[in-house]
Structure 1
Amino acid sequence: MKITGGKVFVGGPGRNYVTLKLMTDEGVYGLGDATLNNRETLPAQYLSDYLLPALEGMDPRNSEDIWQFLYRGAYFRRGPIAMAAFGAIDMALWDIKGKLANMPVYQLLGGRSRQGAMAYAHATGADLEELCDQVAGYVAQGYKAVRVQCGIPGMPSASYAVPETKGDNRHYMTDFSGVRPKVETWDSGRYLRYMPDALAELRARFGPELHLLHDVHHRLTPREAAGFAKAVEPADLFWLEDPTPAEDQDALRLIRHHATTPIAIGEVFNSLWDCNRLIEDELIDFIRVAVTYAGGITPVRRIVDLAGMHHVRTGFHGAPSHSPISMAAQAHLNVWAPNFGIQEYLVLGTPACDALFPSDHRMEDGMIHVSEAPGLGVHFDEREAERYDWVPGSHPVVRLEDGTMWNY
């Protein structure tokens, strides 16, 4: 059995998904996701120009050797562009292996550890009242966990993941009006004075059973983050995400010394080597890597195993930039992983997305239930894909009130 080539598709309903279809001489194909949000054409071109031609003639069943070929064979290793491309290939290989074995991928990993995987929704509001309404809506849908982001009074513009005005339902993470990013303004002082009380009010309103999560999105200094983590202890958060920039990993020691609030980090990490110290030193409680950005199922399984040795649970990234293919790969890892924690969920379920990526994966009462179909259990409609083209867009950037660039 040999790889004969592949196709790369860029586009989708409201998203620039990068979809790989890897083909073999026996007619079995595999699907992978290489979407790198707002830089989508880069992994797509890397796949088409460099990687796919190099794979022709290889046996797709040798997924471990192919992953080593990609990673060790790259003199300039890692980075989000390369790892997203490697991740797509690795997903496609596991998809092929599952189809050949007539088994869902989770069975190849070791079988079920649970019947379903708890997911969390994103609730956001321009003010606390609007945020509470959204949380209540998700609770009514059966969610047991909700991430909460709220507008800050007096903030010159919206804080992270918050609409500019009440009732604005446009998605807040990406602007597809061009490559020049929108500029947001941030004030740590206003945030630190307001958010602990807001989280306490949410806890009082929704009671002790609902899991509340909150994302700082790298905005605080280590001292500020340590104080904030201590201040929000009464809110009993399920996790506090990205309290400081991920590059300064020693900053998490300061947080650990001053607070017991669980810490989640890692959505921007690209390999085991980005997070092994954090896991081994037990400076985090949840590892947030994504199967796409971290290079596929093969390396992420190693991260999960290492995390399990150090009381660290999974909390895979699941923003809208992840296509149903990568979400399916994570669903298989979630149902297997003995140290599963929670899954971010903000992508599946729209009619247009379901038409492009048909599958039997389903969300029910805040739980993701994995498909029993062979492989990853996701199909890709190439004719439907013809409806979509790449549309340039960018994340916002952040400045302080005096104009200083800050961390997005």
Structure 2
Amino acid sequence: MPRITSARVIVTCPGRNFVTLKIETDQGVYGVGDATLNGRELAVASYLEDHVIPCLIGRDAHRIEDIWQYLYKGAYWRRGPVTMSAIAAVDMALWDIKGKVAGLPVYQLLGGAAREGCMVYGHANGSDVEETIERAHEYLEQGYKAVRLQSGVPGLAATYGVSGERFYYEPAKGSLPEETLWSTSKYMRHVPELFERGREALGWDIHLLHDVHHRLTPIEAGRLGKDLEPYRLFWLEDATPAENQAGFRLIRQHTTTPLAVGEIFNSVWDAKQLIEEQLIDYIRATVVHAGGITHLRRIAGLADLYQVRTGCHGATDLSPVSMAAALNFGLSVPNFGIQEYMRHSAETDEVFPHAYSLSNGLMHPGDKPGLGVDIDEALAAKYAYKRAYLPVNRLEDGTMFNW
């Protein structure tokens, strides 16, 4: 059995900040895990270095479940994004080790492939409707089967999901948080026009998605979902803040548009009521913020009982380590729905060489033993950490609002 002999945290910024945990064993086998928490990266790095790593030394790296329970139940202050991201990094690294020792990709250890590949969606972002449609066509030309449409809203200087980049959106920037303005009424008038134009231009053979980013009340979300029903969205994401899970009951009463939520969830408890009452159609919890592969499988197992499918978060605030883990998970889980895929910068891909690939709208983790991803530590050291924040949001009258 491989014993853990050392572990270290690697913080690097090849275009954006990433936190990686590398666990080494006495058999010369090592594993890597992602611990990136967007805008709070160093909090997780400290949690790992000061509190978790000392507890790992000497343990049997194969005892993934026992170590997971030790780190979760052994901490009186449970859950939360910092704790669960740290546990996730350990969990990913241990699965990576187990796969390498077995000589198998992790998805084979999870029961094998349940499909040929994981359908992914790209982000079509534009300053106006026509630019969004143009970006969507570019994804169709690349073979994508699903595209998220986000467009600038007339009368608002900046809109969530819209940036100058063609194929990805990176909101974390600046030494202090950027402040943006929001108007629900302007947004509600605009979005149905976006999807009416989207269906006209893109047809009905492509899946269309949209992210509200927690900015509506339940009744507003119900109204928007109803307005969008003629355009048959694949999903409406994060329609309202989900701290009050019961709020989704009101949305369900008013629309049949499929609902997705959960990218900021940390555990199965954040999704329990939503799943058991069938208030959502897709659970978006991600491998890095929800305790790793071990805990994400539990969330998916509960969801499967209620015909809720997975739709894991996959923005650029997840390193290629998380993407590899998500694809191994998604390829094996029976109730997979879709995987978000935002391309990383060329610098990031060089720091994190990986085996996963994209073909005709489907991604595959590859068949290298373990997760199929690594970190070039010498190259990572060339990119020093740069403090960056997610934006904050205010209403037009200056009131602080959800971002």
**What TM-score do the two structures reach when normalised by structure 1?**
0.96
Q: Deviations over 1:259-282 (max 9, x none)?
A: 100000000100011101111111
| Residues 122-133 of structure 1 aligned to structure 2 (within 5 Å) | 122-133=123-134
1:371 and 2:372 equivalent?
no
Q: Between Structure 1 and Structure 2, how many residues are aligned?
A: 402
Alpha-carbon distance change, 267 to 113 in structure 1, aligned in 2, over 3 angstroms: same
Q: CA deviation at 1:93?
A: 0.5
Alpha-carbon distance change, 3 to 295 in structure 1, aligned in 2, over 3 angstroms: same
Match of 1:94 in 2: 95
Percent identity between the two aligned chains: 53
CA contact (8 A) 2:125 2:166 kept: no
CA contact (8 A) 1:173 1:396 kept: no
Distance 2:354 2:340 in 1: 19
CA contact (8 A) 1:294 1:300 kept: yes
- Aligned residue identity for 2:83: A
Distance 1:81 1:159 in 2: 28
1:402 is paired with a residue of what secondary structure? coil
Distance 2:200 2:42 in 1: 46
Of residues 182, 190, 194, the one that matches 1:194 is 190
| Residues 173-252 of structure 1 aligned to structure 2 (within 5 Å) | 173-178=170-175, 180-252=176-248
Distance 1:297 1:7 in 2: 20
Match of 2:3 in 1: 2
Distance 1:31 1:400 in 2: 41
Match of 2:279 in 1: 283
CA contact (8 A) 1:118 1:368 kept: yes
Q: CA deviation at 1:256?
A: 0.7
CA contact (8 A) 1:215 1:240 kept: yes
Q: CA deviation at 1:12?
A: 3.0
Q: Deviations over 1:3-22 (max 9, x none)?
A: 11211111131111101100
Distance 2:67 2:239 in 1: 36
Q: Deviations over 1:151-201 (max 9, x none)?
A: 11122x2121123xxx666965434320x2111100001111121122111
Match of 2:162 in 1: 162
- Aligned residue identity for 2:158: A
Q: Deviations over 1:23-59 (max 9, x none)?
A: 1111111100000011101111111111001111110
Runs of 4+ in structure 1 deviating by more than 3 angstroms, as ranges, are 167-173
1:193 is paired with a residue of what secondary structure? helix
* Pairwise CA RMSD: 1.3
Alpha-carbon distance change, 399 to 170 in structure 1, aligned in 2, over 3 angstroms: farther
Distance 1:83 1:124 in 2: 31
Distance 1:198 1:271 in 2: 34
Distance 1:93 1:336 in 2: 18
1:403 and 2:378 equivalent?
no
Q: Which runs of 5+ in 2 are unaligned?
A: none
CA contact (8 A) 1:174 1:393 kept: no
CA contact (8 A) 2:168 2:343 kept: no
| Residues 5-404 of structure 1 aligned to structure 2 (within 5 Å) | 5-155=6-156, 157-163=157-163, 172-178=169-175, 180-348=176-344, 350-404=345-399
2:354 is paired with a residue of what secondary structure? coil
Q: Deviations over 1:218-241 (max 9, x none)?
A: 111111111111110001000000
CA contact (8 A) 2:39 2:172 kept: no
Alpha-carbon distance change, 185 to 239 in structure 1, aligned in 2, over 3 angstroms: same
Alpha-carbon distance change, 374 to 344 in structure 1, aligned in 2, over 3 angstroms: same
